[in-house]
């Protein structure tokens, strides 16, 4: 699909500097572009590439004032603009007709709404409900009594255990496991373990994104809940009976232990660990590799293990960095004091 710079400027709401009739045939990064591409600069660190990029047009901030021979589109937010254009391109792609592959297995009393696409080797159990425009890719397993809301996408090799509920416009990426048993065991007097049955389920809201190879365990009793708008990266572990409140984002390799509630609008960095039975307030930002072992009761930035307010942790780190020099100075002062004391004696 091709567009002129003038057409793209209309789509993204920008102002043109250069030739509006230039044809654009692709989208690229500014350092890896070719003639006919459109690219963008959202960070000043990348402005140096504008004079060397081969792209035919660069989307730049509206306050950009450097001289260049490149065609430019000036906008308030270049990153948002390029995303808007990519979304527009994707909207123009013709969708595959809804099909059910002959190898798919559909259980009894399972309802499939209009325009549902089901790929090869998909297994859907009994008493499921698959709403309009849902796409389920190859090798997925949707066990009995599950529901998937309209316009949701289940990528290849996803497993949803029984009674999983998935909302509308939600994407679950390949390899995710939704509704597996939690890590629940009773230790016997002889040191062996007895498995605790998990009879709950997982409820995922609307407009959620679940990353590849992420696992969300079912509730022991009751539900593990992922509310509307939650974004979860790849390789994240969500334990039984956790509640992730709306519009929270969790980065890769984080782990949330059982029965913890994560407040609205939280931002949880990579490799964060949160122990069980905690409550985190709304609008909490937890920096990467932080260990959360106590409730967080007010919004703010937190870092360290155990987690503390970010500024407090930075001050402690700075003090620790000075400790070797302080010890050296202390020993020198002690040696001087000992010598003075010996002379007095």
Active site residues: 240
- Whether a cis peptide bond, with omega within 30° of 0, leads into 226 is no
Q: For strand 37-40 and strand 26-27, is the pairing parallel, antiparallel, or unpaired?
A: parallel
Would you state the torsion angle of the CA atoms of residues 156, 157, 163, 169, taken in this order, to the nearest 10 degrees?
-20
Q: Is 132 exposed, middle or buried (0-12, 13-18, 19+ CB in 10 A)?
A: middle
What region does 102 belong to: left with phi over 0, alpha with psi -120 to 50, or beta? alpha
Distance CA 254, CA 252 (A): 6
Type and span of the H or E element at 303: strand 300-303
Tell me whether residue 204 is exposed, middle or buried, using C-beta atoms within 10 angstroms of its C-beta: 0 to 12, 13 to 18, 19 or more: buried
């Amino acid at each position: 699909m091709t567009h002129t710079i003038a057409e793209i400027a209309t789509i993204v709401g920008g102002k043109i500097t250069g030739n509006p009739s230039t044809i654009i045939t692709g989208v690229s990064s500014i350092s890896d572009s070719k003639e006919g591409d459109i690219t963008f600069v959202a960070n000043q660190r990348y402005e140096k590439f504008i004079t060397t990029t081969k792209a035919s047009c660069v989307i730049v901030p509206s306050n950009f004032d450097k001289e260049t021979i490149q065609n430019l589109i000036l906008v308030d937010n270049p990153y948002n603009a390029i995303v808007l254009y990519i979304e527009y391109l994707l909207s123009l792609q013709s969708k595959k007709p809804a099909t059910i592959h002959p190898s798919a297995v559909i259980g009894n009393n399972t309802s499939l709404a209009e325009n549902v696409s089901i790929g090869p080797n998909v297994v859907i159990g009994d008493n499921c409900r698959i709403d309009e425009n849902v796409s389920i890719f190859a090798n997925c397993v949707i066990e009995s009594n599950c529901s998937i809301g309209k316009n949701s996408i289940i990528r290849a090799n996803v497993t949803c255990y029984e009674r999983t509920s998935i909302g509308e416009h939600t994407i679950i990426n390949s390899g995710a496991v939704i509704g597996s048993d939690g890590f629940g065991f009773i230790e016997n007097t002889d040191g062996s373990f007895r498995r605790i049955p998990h009879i709950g389920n997982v409820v995922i809201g609307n407009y959620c994104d679940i990353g590849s190879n992420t696992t969300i365990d079912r509730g022991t009793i009751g539900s593990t809940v992922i509310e509307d708008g939650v974004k979860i990266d790849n390789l994240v572990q969500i334990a039984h009976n956790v509640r992730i409140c709306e519009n929270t984002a969790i980065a890769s390799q984080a782990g949330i232990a059982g029965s913890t509630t994560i407040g609205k609008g939280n931002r949880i960095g990579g490799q964060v660990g949160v122990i069980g039975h905690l409550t985190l307030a709304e609008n909490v930002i937890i920096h990467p590799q932080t260990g959360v072992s106590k409730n967080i009761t007010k919004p703010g930035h937190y870092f360290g293990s155990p987690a503390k307010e970010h500024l407090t942790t930075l001050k402690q780190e700075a003090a620790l960095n000075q400790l070797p020099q302080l010890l050296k100075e202390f020993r020198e002062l002690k040696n001087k004091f000992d010598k003075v004391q010996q002379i007095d004696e």
